[in-house]
Amino acid sequence: MEFIRNDGRIYNSEHKDTIKRLIKSDKFNKLENITVNELKDYAKTRGLSGYSNLSRDDLIELLKVGE
């Protein structure tokens, strides 16, 4: 299951206890619940460029690898 932290970093966890902890955390959200506009906000906050016309999947990939 993939999560996004408040700073726009994306994390993938398969461990059941970790998933439970992340769901309860106020610093993480399930990636599936995040809108395209929110993904763009994360990209902007992280100082990434070229995100304005990207699809949801491309935005997620940018956030995964972007520096």
pLDDT in tens, 7-57: 999 999 999 999 999 999 999 999 999 999 999 999 999 999 999 999 999
What is this structure's pTM? 0.89
What is the SS3 assignment for 21? helix
Is the pLDDT at 63 greater than 80, yes or no? yes
The structural domain count of the chain equals 1
Domain boundaries, position 54: 2-65
Distance CA 39, CA 56 (A): 8
Residue that the structure tokens 């520096």 belong to: 67
| pLDDT confidence band for 3 (50 / 70 / 90) | very high
Distance CA 29, CA 11 (A): 10
